[in-house]
Structure 1
Amino acid sequence: MAKPQVLIVEDDRSLSEVLDYNLRQEGYETFSAASGQDGLNLAKLRVPDMIVLDLNLPVIDGLEICRRLRADPVTREVMVLMLTAKSEETDQVAGFSVGADDYVTKPFSVKVLLERVRALMRRRIGSSRDASVLVSQGILVDRERHRVTAGEEALDLTPSEFGLLEALLRQPGRVFSRSELIDAALGGDSLVLERTIDVHVRALRKKLGPYAALVETVRGIGYRFRDPAGRS
C-alpha cells in the first residue's frame, strides 16, 4: 500500500526537520519546502495528500498559498493543516476562510499535531476513497494498491516507472521538464541525472505496449501524458 504523502512548508529548518522525522516515523512519505513559492510549486508537481503549512513564509505567505491551492483543480482536494505562531481568533478565521482544514498554533506538542494529521487523513479517506485511483484512455493507476493496468493487462513497473506514470497521468496535457519529473516522480533528494528520465520513459513505453504513444515527447522540454480532450 502506498504511503500517504505530506508536504511540509516551513522556513524554520529545525522545526521542519522535527516534523519530517516524526511524520516519517508515523509511516508518512514526506518532502519539504522552505519558502512559499517552492511549497506551491511542489504541491502542484506532486499533489500530496496533505500539506502542513506555516502561515508566515518568505515570498508567498500561507494564506495566499492556501487560496491558490483551492483555486486550482489539481490541488483543490489536498488537506491543509495550517501551522503558525499566531493564535488570535481573527487569524484562525482568516485561515479557515481561505480553505484551511485545521489550525495548530506554536508552540505545540508533536503528539497533538500528529493526532490532528491522523484525524485529517481519516477524513480524507472517508470522503474520497477512490482519490488514489487515476484513469485515462485505458490506463489505470491505483496508488493505494500500487497497481497499473493498460487495457485489461496488469503491468509490472519499477517504483521509478510507477512514480513517473502517476505524475504524468495526474495532470494530462501538462508538459513536465525532466527536472520537474525528477522532483515529482523520483523525489527531489534523488541523485539522478536529467537524462536518466529518458531511460525510464523508454522502459515505461515498452511496458505500455500499444498505449506507449500516450506518453508524448515535447521536443526541447520534456514529456506529457496525452490530453484526452486533444488540447496541446
Structure 2
Amino acid sequence: MVTHPTARQAVFLSSRIFFYNQKPRTVQPAANANVYKILVVDDDPDIVELLEYNLRKEGYEVASAPDGRKALDVAPQFSPDIILLDVMMPHLDGIATCQQLREQPRFKDTYIIFLTARAEEFSEVAAFEAGADDFIAKPIKPRALLSRLAAHVRRDKDPQLLSDTIEINGLTIDRTGFAVFQDGRKITLPKKEFELLAFLATSPHKVFGREELLQNIWGNDVFVLARTVDVHVRKVREKVGDHHIQTIKGVGYKFNTD
C-alpha cells in the first residue's frame, strides 16, 4: 500500500459515480489516512477503468472524473496528491483545467501528469506552460506510468533520497564526489555540466525552463545568456548519451528515465 510519510485526513470517493445517472455518494474518511490519492480525469471509460485497476492494485486510492468541469468539483473534495489529466475532453479541456487547478493554492504543488493521444509539439508545450509536471502519450503503458508514480512517491517520502547518489538507467551521479559513471565507466564533466546534469536528474520528468536552469545553476550574480544552457546540454549529451536529457521545444529540458 502506498502511504504518506505524514498523516493527514483522506477521503474516499467512488471513481465511477460520474459515468452513471445517479446521485454522488457521500464522501467518507478513508481507512488509511496515509494512502496516496490519485484523481484520474479522462472522458474514455475504458482508460479510466484500466488506470483504476492498476493503480488500486499498487495500493493507491483512486477517484475519477469524465471532464475538466467535474474534476474541478471533485479535486477540492478528494484532495488528490497526484492528478492524471487527459488533454482532449468535452466541456473543459485538460489545459484549462490544469490552469484553474494551479490558480488554487492547495493544488499549486500537486503532481499533475497529462495523458493525451495528441503528440504534436504545440500540445506538449501548452501542457507544460499550463503547469503540468509530466506528459505521457497514449496508448498508456501501465508499467511505465506506475514506475514514474513510484519514483515521485519515493522522492515525496524522503526528499533527501537523491541528495548524495542518483542512479537511473545505468547512469550514476555522485553529488558529493562530483563523479558520473555510465554503466560503471567514469565520465569526467566540468563543474557546470555536472551541476546541470545532477539538477535535472534530481527531479526526473520535471521540465525546467532555460531561465530557471540559469538561476539554479549559474545564479543571479553572473550574467549568462539562455543559449549557455543549450550549449552545456549539448556537451553533456555528447558525454553521457542523448537519451538522458530530453528537449521540450519552446519550454526547456527534462531528465528522462524511460
Length-normalised TM-score, structure 2: 0.47
Any residues of structure 2 matched to 1:23-62 within 5 Å, and which? Answer: 23-62=55-94
Residue among 81, 85, 102 paired with 1:70: 102
* Cα distance, 1:75 vs structure 2: 1.6
* Amino acid of the structure 2 residue aligned with 1:48: P
Q: Distance in 1 between matches of 2:127 and 2:155?
A: 19
User: Which residue is 1:170 aligned to?
Assistant: none
1:21 matched to 2:16: no
* Cα distance, 1:81 vs structure 2: 0.7
* Amino acid of the structure 2 residue aligned with 1:109: K
Contact 2:63 2:78 in 1 (8 A): no
State the structure with more CA Rg. Answer: 2
* Cα distance, 1:127 vs structure 2: 5.0
User: Which residue is 1:181 aligned to?
Assistant: none
User: Which residue is 1:140 aligned to?
Assistant: none
1:110 matched to 2:142: yes
- Give the structure with the higher percent helix: 1
Residue among 116, 125, 148 paired with 1:93: 125
User: Which residue is 1:134 aligned to?
Assistant: none
- Gaps of at least 5 residues in structure 1 are 129-232
* Cα distance, 1:41 vs structure 2: 1.1
How large is the RMSD of aligned CA atoms in angstroms?
A: 1.6
Q: Distance in 1 between matches of 2:124 and 2:70?
A: 24
Contact 1:79 1:124 in 2 (8 A): no
What is the identity percentage for the equivalent residue pairs of Structure 1 and Structure 2? Answer: 40
User: Which residue is 2:181 aligned to?
Assistant: none
Q: Residue by residue, what CA displacement relative to the aligned partner does 1:190-209 show, whole Å, maximum 9, x if unpaired?
A: xxxxxxxxxxxxxxxxxxxx
Q: Distance in 2 between matches of 1:58 and 1:92?
A: 19
Question: Residues 67 and 31 of structure 1: is their aligned pair in 2 closer, same or farther, counting only changes over 3 Å?
Answer: same
Q: Distance in 1 between matches of 2:93 and 2:70?
A: 11
Any residues of structure 2 matched to 1:203-218 within 5 Å, and which? Answer: none
Question: Residues 85 and 117 of structure 1: is their aligned pair in 2 closer, same or farther, counting only changes over 3 Å?
Answer: same
Length-normalised TM-score, structure 1: 0.52
* Cα distance, 1:33 vs structure 2: 0.7
Number of aligned residue pairs: 128
Structure 1 runs of 4+ aligned residues shifted over 4 Å read none
* Cα distance, 1:97 vs structure 2: 0.8
* Amino acid of the structure 1 residue aligned with 2:104: D
